[in-house]
Amino acid sequence: MHGWAGKILDVNLTTRAIQTRALDETSARLFLGGRGLGARLLWDEVGAGIDPLSPENVLIFTTGPLTATGYQTSNRFSVSTKSPLTGTILDANSGGYWGMQFKRAGYDALIVRGRAETPVYLEIKPSGITFHDAQTLWGKRVRATTHALGQNNHKRNVLCIGPAGENCSRIAAIMNDGERALARGGAGAVMGSKNLKAIVVEGNTRPEIVNQELFKFMLYETRKLLRASPLTSQALPEFGTSVVMNIVNTIGALPTRNFQQSQFEAGRAEAIAGETLTEKYLVKNAACWACPIGCTRISKTARGEGEGPEYETLWAFGAQCGIDDLPAIIEANSICNDLGLDTISAGSTIGCAMELTERGLLDSDLRFGRADLLAPTLEAMGARRGIGAELADGSARLAKQFGAPELSMSVKGLEMPAYDPRGMQGQGLLYATSNRGACHMRGNMLGLEVLGLPKLIDRFQVQGKSSFVILHQNSAAAIDSLVICKFTNMGVAEEYFARVLTAVTGIPYATGELIRVGERVWNLERLYNLREGFTRADDTLPPRLLNDAVTEGPSQGWVAKLEPMLQEYYRVRGWDAQGVPKPRKLKELGLDSCVVQ
């Protein structure tokens, strides 16, 4: 096998047994790696009804066939587990250096199972794999832990949880290389429940590439395309992901005050946009390993310096909370990174708490616009202290507890990101059907409906929208299985990725076959959720978006027209009217052995 390391590392924290087994070649071909391989392994490992925070759940860290090859953005890796936030299948992926280093350690996947009696960390080195006592690290924040364990970007890389993960906050992230996040769905809580503080990796192998000539040509062409695209060569390096803040606000799709409005008032979106961030607080941009784009922000305020914030974070603590105090948002982002909290869920949950308070359902000081309360609220969430204890498990549990579940702006329990589906109809269908809950990284209609990538389509069109959503969901699943960064896809089409995969593995993959891998992954994830008891009723949006039309701005009068899109979506997916994949579809994808009782 070329491209894959060919080995899976299996670690049992309860017994401290360490095993290595061969990667199944068929699974590798069908699911590639990353999210796809993670889903395939999780299907067998974690059956229906398992408590996500019990020792029976597993964490599966995966790389892909492109990881560490040196192809542009081939730094990423993935974690798969059963989500303690949503109860669905979960994968989250991250950039930086850790994934590259783990692949160089000679593994395609690491399965962590069981629960350590006391806190430990795991060290994976060419000389061996060892458990270390982590009792002195327990309680430490992410930056301190990362530093204490000897983070060195190109040699030794640290992945860890912060206090939020230790306290099993269901919106806790796993952090790597200090500031990067496997953010969504609460994987940090799973790691905390296992008493696993960190995983340190050192590697010294290099992936073999079968067709060097083609690989070099693809590197050359990809570099050319990324440099030619204004998005990847100018917008992202100069302004980061928040370059889209003003664009999304202008079209009336920027959710504001817990999605009560779809536009932030004049001047207020600008105050938290990428342009302002760059002008006032940017120290420099930075890049993950093998990335020529460099969208990472290094920002500095009077209170400190750190990576970020991303667009979604600026929105979550900004428009979602009615806040335009950029230093306060930068600080909130920094606190989340250090506590190990998902910024989207944290910000959205605070926004939900603000609305609950303003409606008299929650007794707190949290009100829209209270930038001064962001930092203390986040600290309380990480420590599960006071009001923070109510917010630490996300908005769905919070809103339900205080009698207004409809005020959680989430799908399947995962907080929605920074696009209002009423102004981007396809995005609504995407959120409703995303397997890990509302997500903008499981396909994103921003390109087609707003940016014109590859070409602009009507954002209010309903008929036929499912085709676009499905194509982008499948494509995203394939890219997540390679694993590379989706921003590469802003300048480089899937046909390039198929050829790079061919060059690396020696296995011919046509563009259509690569997309088919994504379809296979998507369907397997769907089967996983069905096995957990999810139904058609879970493929929905918060009532506010379905019933309350936008009252002003460019999306005025629109609600999310989900139902006709959803019916069409099921048909096009080859699923029945209840959203269950038909036997013919499963056979076509080679998934007929995955049976849901």
Contact residues toward another protein (CB under 8 A) are 213-214, 216-217, 220-221, 224-225, 228, 448, 454-458, 461, 463-464, 466-468, 471, 474-475, 494-495, 498-499, 510-513, 515, 568-569, 571-572
Give Dmax (Cα) for the chain: 66
| Paired strand residues for 385 | none
Closest approach of Cβ 214 to another protein, in Å? 7
Q: Nearer Cβ to another protein, position 402 or 570?
A: 570
What burial class does residue 208 get, using C-beta atoms within 10 Å of its C-beta: 0-12 exposed, 13-18 middle, 19+ buried? middle
Q: Nearer Cβ to another protein, position 9 or 218?
A: 218
Closest approach of Cβ 498 to another protein, in Å? 8
Q: Nearer Cβ to another protein, position 47 or 564?
A: 564
Yes or no: say if 77 and 93 are a contact pair by the CB < 8 Å rule.
yes
Q: Nearer Cβ to another protein, position 342 or 519?
A: 519
Assign 349 to helix, strand or coil.
helix
Closest approach of Cβ 573 to another protein, in Å? 10
Closest approach of Cβ 535 to another protein, in Å? 22
In angstroms, the Cα distances linking 126 to 107, 157, 180, 203, 372 are 11, 14, 24, 6, 48
Closest approach of Cβ 460 to another protein, in Å? 9
Q: Nearer Cβ to another protein, position 43 or 509?
A: 509
E strands in 73-182: 77-82, 89-94, 109-113, 120-125, 128-133, 157-160, 174-176, 180-182
Q: Nearer Cβ to another protein, position 270 or 513?
A: 513
Q: Nearer Cβ to another protein, position 371 or 500?
A: 500
Closest approach of Cβ 225 to another protein, in Å? 8
Q: How far apart are CA 391 and CA 385, in angstroms?
A: 10
Closest approach of Cβ 471 to another protein, in Å? 6
Cα angle 582-28-469, degrees, rounded to a multiple of 5: 45
Q: How far apart are CA 113 and CA 134, in angstroms?
A: 17
* Closest alpha carbon to 179 in 243, 261, 119, 96: 96
Q: Nearer Cβ to another protein, position 315 or 570?
A: 570
Number of Cβ atoms within 10 Å of the Cβ of 559: 18
Closest approach of Cβ 454 to another protein, in Å? 5
Q: How far apart are CA 497 and CA 220, in angstroms?
A: 13
Closest approach of Cβ 227 to another protein, in Å? 12
Query: Which two tokens mark 306?
Result: 């750190």
Assign 133 to helix, strand or coil.
strand
DSSP character at residue 243: G
- Torsions phi, psi for 224 (to 5 deg): -60, -45
Q: Nearer Cβ to another protein, position 51 or 495?
A: 495
